[in-house]
Amino acid sequence: MPINYYIFLALALFCIGVAGVLTRRNAIIIFMCIELMLNAVNLLLVAFSKMHHLDVMQTNPATTVGTDAQLFVFFIMVVAAAEVSVGLAIIVMMYRNTHSIDINFLNRLKH
């Protein structure tokens, strides 16, 4: 399959994520959109990795060449998981304090 399809899919996912972050006010949804953007990047990483090392992999299925990018994806997923846990904890705390998860309540950064 040509690489273009992957790129377009990832781009679409990323843009949906950006649009969601920019337009939505619900913290949970924003979180989900961030995940969407991360996953778009993950998808691209895997796709490019496969594309670059296609020849090597076909001749020698046992090779470890070209797994770097896929390792990156795991890293990102781990970090994202950690981030989600911290982020959700923050949201919980926020809900406890404000009884809302609307981020416009959190415009205190100004002062």
Partner 1 sequence: MSNILEYIWLVPLFPLIGFLINGLGRNYLSKTFVSIIGCGVLLASFAASVYFFMSVKSGNSEVVHLFDFISTNSINIPFEFQADALSSLFLLIITGVGFLIHLYSTAYMHEESSTHFARYFAYLNLFVFSMLLLVLGGNYVIMFIGWEGVGLCSYLLIGYWFKNTDYNNAAKKAFIMNRIGDLGFLLAVFWMIQQFNSVSFGEVFAKSPQASVAVLTGITLLLFVGATGKSAQIPLYTWLPDAMAGPTPVSALIHAATMVTAGIYMIARSNVMYTLAPTTQTVVAVVGLATAIFAATIAIKQNDIKKVLAYSTVSQLGYMFLGLGVGAYTGAVFHVMTHAFFKALLFLGAGSVIHAMHHEQDIRNMGGLRKKLPITHLTFLLGCIAIAGIPPFSGFFSKDEILAAAYEANPVYWIIGVAGAMMTAFYMFRLYATTFLGSFRGTQEKEHHLHESPAAMTIPLIVLAILAVVGGFVGIPKVFAENAHSLEHFLSPIFAQSEELVKKEHALDHTKEIGLMAASVILALIAISYALNRFSKKPELKEAEGFGKILANKLYVDEMYDAIIGKPLKAISAFFNNVIEKAGIDGFVNGIGDGVQYASRQLRLLQSGQVGSYILLMVIGIIILFIIQLFVQ
Positions that interact with partner 1 (CB under 8 A): 18, 21-22, 25, 103-104, 106-111
- Least distance (Å) between residue 43 CB and partner 1: 19
Nearer to partner 1, 18 or 57 (CB): 18
Nearer to partner 1, 1 or 22 (CB): 22
- Least distance (Å) between residue 1 CB and partner 1: 26
φ and ψ of 40, to 5 deg: -60, -45
